[in-house]
Structure 1
Amino acid sequence: MITLNRDRVASTLPLVSVIIPAYNAEAFIEKTLKSVLSQTYQNLEVLVVDDGSQDRTPEIIQAIAQQDKRVVLLQQKNAGVAAARNLGIEKSQGEFIAPIDADDIWYPENIEKQVQCFLASDPSVGLVYSWSVDIDQDDVPTGIFRAAKIEGEVYVTLVGHNFIGNASASMIRRNCFDQIGGYNCQLKEQAAQGCEDWDIYLRIADVCQFRVVPDFLIGYRKIINSMSRDSTQMAKSHHLVMQAVRQRHPEIPTALYGFSSSSLYIYFAHQSHYFKDHKTTLFWLGQAIKSDVVTPYLRLGFYLLALQSILGLVLQLVRARVGVAENQSFKSKNIKNRLTLDDIKRKESAIKIKVLVGDAFHYFIPKLSRNKKIKLNYETVEGSALN
């Protein structure tokens, strides 16, 4: 591991361009920017793209930009998250691109550790990702986390499962975009936003290798009205992204797409369950079975979600009968019981299990290709744009 010497002049270190698309983000944009500007790695430019906000988002950004010259406000008519990210990348100058959504946060060492990983890696590595924890509106971890040690040639594994998990967990070598283009704006045009990050990860995996920083450095915010909660639109987005994958790689077996859809729908079920939407939870569990008639039954969580949702519906009916309103507050109820980031890190057994499952998935899923070679393009990148 390369250790950055903080006594060196900042300009001798690679410039990292942080790209933040923001639409009506006044509730959290200040927290997001504070987490970016507080990074231990300081050679940053921070391009915030206001995507036609109708609230105080641009005013908040401009006030912060007056205090820290690394922050630049760009504005456009509302065109969607993909167009906003593309504008930020177009106007940026950094060797590395670090996207983060306008309601997420980074813990202080995220950028430093991702840059370290890049500097210690081969030029064929185009993307580095970190582990993330879900947080609520108060920045408190919910207990849900993403941890994987999947590295190298990851394309087939990534088709089956977005192990990176969100758009705020990656750093991307700028030259990758020269090879693959920008984020897909057509998804918004087809009312199918939600998988722009998965799509870009897949296209990068087609030409580059991945590396991981095995540390919890991302706070991925989950609130009831966040875009990631629009499961129906995201399901359509996933379908369109996988259609494009089929066209590029017809050698990938059909079964993997069913597994991919099923895994996504179970993820939707978990999100609905967290917000006590029991009917929607059961709906997505049903969709998971329709997509893949085998693997859902092999997941213990599938049965737990189904049982808990059925019991939840029964309790709702009982409350309705006796006239007792259900508490719909999702705030952390007891300060003494609130989790911290250290609490997540101490879940060593759960982390090891998640990593082992991911490793097994990364090993066995490519075997579904039945020895058909997945035709990737690493040679092209290695010989040109990434040198």
Structure 2
Amino acid sequence: MTKAAPDGGRDLVSVIVPAYNAALTIQETIASAQAQTWRDLEIVVVDDGSTDDTAAIAERMAADDPRIRVLRKSNGGVSSARNAGAAACRGAFVTPVDADDVLHPTRIARQMARMAELGPRCGVVYTLAATIDMAGRITGTKGFPGFEGAVYLRGLAVNFVGNGSALLIRREALLDVGGYDEAQRNCDDWLLQSLIARRWRWGAVNEALTGYRSVPGSKKSNHLKMRLAQLQAVRRLAERYPETPADVIAAAEAMGRGQLCVLRLRLIEPLAAIAEFARAVALSPRVALETVFVVEFGRLGATALDRGLRALRLRREPEPGPPFLAADPRAALATWPRPPFARLLRRFEAREEAVFLTPSRAAGVEDVRLDSLA
């Protein structure tokens, strides 16, 4: 068991980089952490049993920068690696960054400023993210702006962060919920977000300060597994926090089933798709219909139309986006996509404060010592 490192300064931020066979991208990830304008930080790279040059690259960078430490462990999955990093870090704040993602130079400074504005009951500050390709060019958007304060119910309905690398977490909040759940092999970051949101307030920096890269063949790109894992996480949240309103849990499950329905259709599994849709309707007919026919089919239709117009040369091929690290993180905010399920989110938002102030009846131990995260 890894014991907790001595505490650093109260403004020290620990960047935790879980890495498994990330030799193609880890140098850029670490370099983006080194380039932060917030100088009071450490970078903890956790090599999760890589079989390529991941650890060697990180160790070469550590030799030139005393802020970098490299931990090696046997392969246990990303949650295990994040928890090992949390156990070894010294910062009062932590930011987990996947080994293929990058940070805008001002990101941590902007998050720390917002954290200070919101006070000690703020457990997390998130940023928006730009999706990037292997060359680091912007290809799209990730996350939704403006989710602050009590966000637990809305977070069950819409994953407004959309990735695990956009968070600055007060370490006290991370420990309060026991760290990442290592039994949750996918969507572990979304489950952590929800656990913290039940007990801590949130803040937002509405700028694209995180570069989110989906490498072909990576866990990030397996949408079916991710949807199934999110449904599992919803059920675990219902068990852990039984005071969560039943209609909110039903809506979250109906959305998940509706999304699975469309995925099954795309995989040419019509019987499985029909079964998922029937389950979604049984949980919440209105949410199921909106998920499938408005949100999911709407996205597919818009994508198909765009491709058709480009094939007919009625619409130009999109130009390559600018390099993420050189782009203005506020440039696209005016046209940033709005979250779906607007009416449902408004209903949930009206109930957030009452649910947040309801004492938690969590099933299981909530107060977890730092050294138990190893």
* TM-score calculated relative to the size of structure 2: 0.78
Q: 1:305 aligns with which of 286, 300, 303?
A: 300
Partner of 1:338: 320
Q: What stretches of structure 2 of length at least 5 have no aligned partner?
A: 1-7, 281-286, 309-315, 362-366, 369-374
Question: What is the DSSP-based 3-state SS (H/G/I as helix, E as strand, rest coil) of the residue aligned with 1:129?
Answer: strand
Q: 1:154 to 1:87 in 2, by over 3 A?
A: same
**1:279 matches 2:257:** no
Question: What is the DSSP-based 3-state SS (H/G/I as helix, E as strand, rest coil) of the residue aligned with 1:49?
Answer: strand
CA contact (8 A) 1:61 1:73 kept: yes
Question: What is the DSSP-based 3-state SS (H/G/I as helix, E as strand, rest coil) of the residue aligned with 1:131?
Answer: strand
CA distance in 2, matches of 1:248, 1:136: 38
The alpha-carbon deviation at position 249 of structure 1 amounts to 3.4
Counterpart amino acid of residue 195 in structure 2? R
The alpha-carbon deviation at position 222 of structure 1 amounts to 1.7
Q: 1:354 aligns with which of 335, 338, 341?
A: 338
Query: 1:1-387 residue pairs with structure 2 within 5 A?
Result: 14-187=11-184, 193-261=185-253, 263=255, 279-280=266-267, 289-290=277-278, 291=280, 292-296=287-291, 299=294, 302-306=297-301, 337-340=319-322, 341=324, 342=327, 345-351=330-336, 354=338, 362-366=345-349, 375-377=358-360
Q: What stretches of structure 1 of length at least 5 have no aligned partner?
A: 1-10, 188-192, 314-332, 379-383
The alpha-carbon deviation at position 261 of structure 1 amounts to 4.5
The alpha-carbon deviation at position 204 of structure 1 amounts to 0.9
Kindly provide the CA deviation profile for residues 148-175 of structure 1, in whole angstroms up to 9, marking residues without a partner as x.
1011111111111221111100011111
Q: Quick one: percent identity of the two aligned structures?
A: 27
* TM-score calculated relative to the size of structure 1: 0.76
Question: What is the DSSP-based 3-state SS (H/G/I as helix, E as strand, rest coil) of the residue aligned with 1:240?
Answer: helix
Counterpart amino acid of residue 335 in structure 2? A
Q: 1:170 to 1:304 in 2, by over 3 A?
A: closer
Q: 1:258 to 1:310 in 2, by over 3 A?
A: farther
Partner of 1:328: none
CA distance in 1, matches of 2:207, 2:188: 24
CA distance in 2, matches of 1:223, 1:267: 22
The alpha-carbon deviation at position 251 of structure 1 amounts to 4.3
CA contact (8 A) 1:15 1:45 kept: yes
CA contact (8 A) 1:249 1:374 kept: no
Kindly provide the CA deviation profile for residues 289-313 of structure 1, in whole angstroms up to 9, marking residues without a partner as x.
4435321256266235058569989
Counterpart amino acid of residue 142 in structure 2? F
CA distance in 2, matches of 1:163, 1:120: 21
Figure out how many residues of one structure are paired with residues of the other and give that number: 337
CA distance in 2, matches of 1:303, 1:285: 17
Q: 1:358 to 1:138 in 2, by over 3 A?
A: farther
